[in-house]
Amino acid sequence: MKFVAVIRQVPDGESRLKVQGERVDLSGATLILDQMDEYAVEEALRLKEKHGGEAIVVGFGPERTEEAIRTALAMGMDRGVHVVFEGHADPVAVAEALAPVLREEAPTLVLTGGQQADWDSQALGGALAEALGVPVVAWTTALELEGETAKAKHDLDEGAEWVRVRLPAVFTTQQGLNEPRYPTLPGIMKAKKKEIRKVQVSLSPKVELLSEEIQEKARLGKVLDGKDPAQAAEELVRLLHEEAKVI
């Protein structure tokens, strides 16, 4: 059994972003293993602990992505592969770059986060599955192996469903699937010695990024005192009706 988690490094949602020359400048931001991908790492670890085999982290991105790969190794992943690429890449291009690496590993299944916290893309799971010619289960909240298949619960646009899927398959992960563990100190020490294989790729992005800007909508900030709830409610409804004209 071989369980692969595909991860990326992204800015922490709490860090302040700035824009320089029409590009987001991450130099001052705290960079972390994408929290959605953390669920993928945790699930790979749980599957390995239950069924045996190997848990591998495959990271995509610039040199600094190695930090996020080390985090996954400190959580307990056995080894890492770093597909190195500097710059912006759309999910189709990322899937093209990752496909040869994943084919070589021939995993039982591949896990990756449901949405990227930088590009806000939800497509990597689907694109990877197409690249590998395997099914995809998106927004997974439960996953069990049953021989050559897996049984999974996942969210639809409305409601959820249980499916049985032939392996190998790609699963996208999210909150609710598990509670990612924290790296322990011994885990962090061990991670320093674990192998990270570097793979250099040249890829052809299909989508070109022209500019980025931060448009924080200026808010009115009209705050009322609610000591008299009836009066405050009336004033609020009046403002929404007459000023904002939304009710």
Subset of 13-52 contacting other proteins (CB under 8 A): 13-14, 17, 19, 24, 35-36
Judged by CB under 8 A, does residue 232 bind other proteins? yes
Q: Which stretch binds other proteins (CB under 8 A): 40-48, 72-80, 163-171, 191-199?
A: 163-171
Judged by CB under 8 A, does residue 78 bind other proteins? no
Find the shortest distance in angstroms from Cβ 233 to other proteins.
4
Judged by CB under 8 A, does residue 165 bind other proteins? yes
- Which among 100, 5, 9 has a CA at the least distance from the CA of 48? 5
Q: Residues 71, 174, 183, 191: which binds other proteins (CB under 8 A)?
A: 174
Contacts of 148 (CB under 8 A, 6+ apart): 166, 167
Residue 22 CA to residue 24 CA, distance in Å, equals 7
Residues 95-114 that bind other proteins (CB under 8 A): 95-96
Residue 109 CA to residue 100 CA, distance in Å, equals 15
Q: Which stretch binds other proteins (CB under 8 A): 65-73, 76-84, 193-201, 227-235?
A: 227-235
Q: Residues 87, 157, 182, 186: which binds other proteins (CB under 8 A)?
A: 157
Find the shortest distance in angstroms from Cβ 226 to other proteins.
2
Judged by CB under 8 A, does residue 146 bind other proteins? no
Residue appearing with tokens 């996208």: 172
Q: Residues 44, 57, 75, 138: which binds other proteins (CB under 8 A)?
A: 138
Closer to other proteins by CB, 158 or 195: give it. Answer: 158
Residue appearing with tokens 């302040």: 16
User: Cβ(78)–Cβ(191) under 8 Å?
Assistant: no
Judged by CB under 8 A, does residue 172 bind other proteins? yes
Q: What is the DSSP string of 53-88?
A: SEEEEEEEESTTHHHHHHHHHHHT-SEEEEEE--S-
Judged by CB under 8 A, does residue 55 bind other proteins? no
Classified as helix, coil or strand, 221 is: coil
Q: What's 180's DSSP letter?
A: P
